[in-house]
Amino acid sequence: MIIGEKERPSCFRPRSGRAFTIMELLVASAIMTLALIMIYQIWRFITRGGTTEIWAADAASKLTNADTRLREFVNRAGYPTMMTSQGILEPTSASLSYYRFDVSSSGTATEEGTATDQRHVRVFSPQGNEGGPGAGTPIVSFYRVEPGLVGIEGRPNKMIVASKVLLLFQRGHKVAETHAPLADLVMEEGPLDYLKSFDSIGALNGLQAVLNTPRNPGAYRQYTMVSDVSQMKISACTRRPNETNRVELGVSENCDSSSLVRILIDCLEPQLGKRRVSKMIEAETHVGVNMAGTVTR
């Protein structure tokens, strides 16, 4: 530097030595934490919303499949008959009551509808602790029967084929958030039995003992109709023979009365429990309905 010349100011200043205070660090951390929480909540909402919609679509698809299968099986609910050249053989009146469409009396009984269209309804709700195969809570039992044919000119003989069918709750579980009880609705079908004796009503009466013979559990077929069921309602209207305009409540009707069975299945989303999917299934049986029956395996 030349003597007598003023010192030029420097563009670099010495550091002050001041750092962030604890309070400033805490405030910054809190702001960052809140931002992360908001991002996580948004991500969780989007993810759960997508998961719920996937569940709803899957539940609706399963209910549609359950509708098809239940209609097929319930439409075949009947009692053994044999068409012969002398006419149609049927079981005796005492045996007819055995083949009714039985709805368990364990469900809550209620009445729904108007005074002119009142229905007797059984409501079933799972406990959430139902067991798996070989266990569960039976709800409905009936017999799927295909009629036989013998001695008809120009047509081959056909044996009577029958099996026992159950609807039951299995594999109970609960909603993750609310702990509401849920279960799977399962259809269980016993082994098919063939009635080879064609020529007597006594043989038709004997089929009931054959169908209820205890079997190896492995011989039963099971179909999971739909999962995450929170409630099921069953009602029936029975049309008595020779009374085509008279519709009964289906509380307890004879076997030779055809009936319209209504089954309402309500499913609940198993994570949050805020989304429901329901379906009403209607099917015609060839037997009367007992709305206070004893349903066992």
What averages of pLDDT result for each successive group of 10 residues across the chain (297 residues)? 56 60 83 85 68 88 93 89 83 79 88 67 93 89 87 82 91 93 93 66 74 67 92 81 50 63 94 91 86 82
Q: Please list the residues that pair with 237 across neighbouring strands.
A: 260
State the residue for tokens 């169908």: 211
Nearest to 241 by CA among 251, 253, 223, 228: 253
275, 250 contact by CB (below 8 A)? no
Sign of CA dihedral 28, 29, 32, 33: negative
Q: Which amino acid is at 55?
A: W
pLDDT in the model for residue 246? 44
Query: What is the spatial distance between Cα 241 and Cα 96, in angstroms, rounded to a whole number?
Result: 14
Pairing of strands 258-268, 221-239: antiparallel
- In the chain the first and final C-alpha atoms are separated, in Å, by 110
pLDDT, residue 199, reads 57
Supply the pLDDT for residue 245: 46
Q: What residues pair up with 262 in beta bridges, in sequence order?
A: 235, 282
pLDDT at residue number 179: 93
Q: What is the pLDDT of residue 239?
A: 61
Torsion of CA 219, 161, 257, 202, to 10 degrees: -100
Residue-wise DSSP of 216-246: -GGG-EEEEEEEEEEEEEEEEEEE-TT-TT-
pLDDT at 47: 64
Can you list the alpha helix ranges (DSSP code H) found in 85-200?
Answer: 93-96
For residue 64, the one-letter residue type is T
Q: Which tokens sit at 89?
A: 């053989």
Tokens of 269: 């989303």
Please report, as a single letter, which amino acid is at residue 183.
A
Are 248 and 240 within 8 A, CB to CB?
Answer: yes
Residue type, 259: S
d(CA 144, CA 76): 5
Q: In the structure encoding, which two tokens stand for residue 156, read together? A: 């081959």
pLDDT on residue 171: 94
Tokens at residue 115, please? 């005074």
Give Dmax over CA atoms of the chain in angstroms: 143
Q: Which helix (H) or strand (E) holds 76?
A: none
pTM of the model as a whole: 0.76
Q: What is the pLDDT of residue 240?
A: 57
